[in-house]
Amino acid sequence: MSNENISETPTTVGTAEQQDNDLFAHGDGLYWTCEYEKAKEYFQIALNQPSISLLDEVRCYSSLGAVNTKLQNYKEALSNYNRQLDILLQLKISNINEADIAKCCMSIGMVYWLMHDYAQAIYSNNQALAALSTDNQAFDLTSNIYKNLANLHTKLNEFDLALTYFGKALEIDRQHLREDHLKFGQTYANIGTLYYSKQDFKQALNYFLKARETWLKSLPMSHMYMESMEKTIRTVQSKLVIPNIPSNSRWASNGVTVAGGHERGNATTQLCNPYGLFIYDDQTMIIVDSGNHRIIEWKMDEKNGYIVAGDNSPGNRLDQLNWPTDVIIEKETDSLIICDRGNQRVVRWPCHKATAQGEIIVSDINCFGLTMDDQKYLYVSDTDNHEVRRYKIGDKNGTIIAGGHGKGDGLNQLNYPTYIFVDRQQTLYVSDHDNHRVMKWNKDGNEGIVVAGGRGKGETLTQLSFPNGLFVDTLGTIYVADSWNHRVMRWSDEAKQGTVIVGGNSWGGETNQLHFPTSLSFDRHGNLYIVDQLNYRVQRFSIE
């Protein structure tokens, strides 16, 4: 995300007599080489000169305020700047104007900002704004004050006020700057950050894209601004992948094949016993083609997929996979994280490098499902130990957060957990496969809550049969691939029974049928995608 640094404008004004020039020159030189204590000595000597003029006194207090700010002597800095302001207000000289007073007030605001006294900082910047009421030529200064006020109100979580001030700054900048000026990109990025804080991810993405578009006009893609913005955009796009789906939504009863569907095989038009699925914001699919020991990327409306990990043959080399079952995207590093089940490991794999190989991040685990929360903790289900562990990237052991009490059907137990999902509150949902139920584990909970199924294997609306793929929308509604019933079910929050939304017409290969669905996901429009394993295809069911 963008840095929200308050603007600070130098307040040194006027010139000194020749006899004092060396003192100021030495002090300035030491300041810019970060030798603040020595710089302070020279400015103090200049201030104590018996013949010092008022203009040079202003300059001394300004320089001392800047030095003391750097030294974190904030009370002393405030004293310096307030003395400078007093003199400026007393002077009736033509070359002392409103802009100088405004700059001094901004410097005082900066010190209060650093002291975390945001209310006083706002007051000082409003004083600066008032000083410019008759100086209509100080466009850049006025814009900076508005941006300061926006950032300060952001600190107080007053987001709407902050947006108002950024809007005023943009209005001024548009009148006086070229449209490709870097300042526009920074302001757009700041506005995007505000909308992100308000959890308005659609607007946040809009402004982050504007920032990128602006910076692209004058910066290379390798610039740190561009690299940081690319990561930010991917993070926001991941938020938009979880759609707000109305609880009464319906989907077309007949699906459309969007990947595979050409019998079982290893050509790039085919799939073989696929399992996991990830959907990008542009509807590109990342499919775990388990029987072909590979991960395949499939763009919408294309007939062929593109292998992004694995090489069609099982193996344990770092460039091979062995019956992978799940994949997620780590957007910050532009990497795939793959559950390489047959090799009992989790690997990270670069997304877009043709000669890439994986890096082992968790080993010696019978993993099946993966998910990651907003804090970048990785969650992995373990079918042998009947548990789910959470890992900080780089941690090899992890922490048990669900199950771990042996195989069983108690509320603190699991029985062959497969797919998992974590929401923004770090609540974990687990497809408890051999207990024919979905469990919800609140953050730091000692036991789970049955939220779907749990009434034994069966095909009634209160039952599940070996559930797998799992998705929870922002309303807490659960969508689960009820594999052995060849259907997808929806369970509203606290519902006693589910509803069939797709399939349930016995197993088969027709457009309204499924054959052992294993995974599911939604695009940002709410369309449903299902890995139809034994039909060797991915089906899309459009939301109505």
- How confident is the model over 18-31, as a mean pLDDT? 78
CATH (residue range 16-239):
1.25.40.10
Q: What is the pLDDT of residues 477-536, one digit of tens each?
A: 999 999 999 999 999 988 889 999 999 999 999 999 999 999 999 988 889 999 999 999
CATH (residue range 256-541):
2.120.10.30
Q: What is the pLDDT of residues 71-84, one digit of tens each?
A: 999 999 999 999 99
SS3 411: coil
Task: List the one residue out of 383, 399, 386 whose CA is nearest residue 339.
Answer: 383
Lowest mean pLDDT among 159-168, 234-243, 331-340: 234-243
Look over the chain and give the mean of its residue pLDDT values, rounded to a whole number: 89
Please give the pLDDT value at position 2.
Answer: 36
SS (H, E, C) 418-467: EEEEECCCCCEEEEEHHHCEEEEECCCCCCCEEEEECCCECCCCCCECCE
**Residues near 342 by beta carbon (within 8 Å), at least 6 away in sequence:** 293, 314, 321, 322, 323, 324
Q: Residue 15: pLDDT band by 50, 70, 90 thresholds?
A: very low
Tokens matching residue 130: 């008032």
Q: What is the pLDDT of residues 134-145, one digit of tens each?
A: 555 678 899 999
Cα distance between residue 469 and residue 297, in whole Å: 19
Q: What is the pLDDT of residues 214-229, one digit of tens each?
A: 998 888 888 888 888 8
Q: Delimit the domains of the chain by residue range.
A: 16-239, 256-541
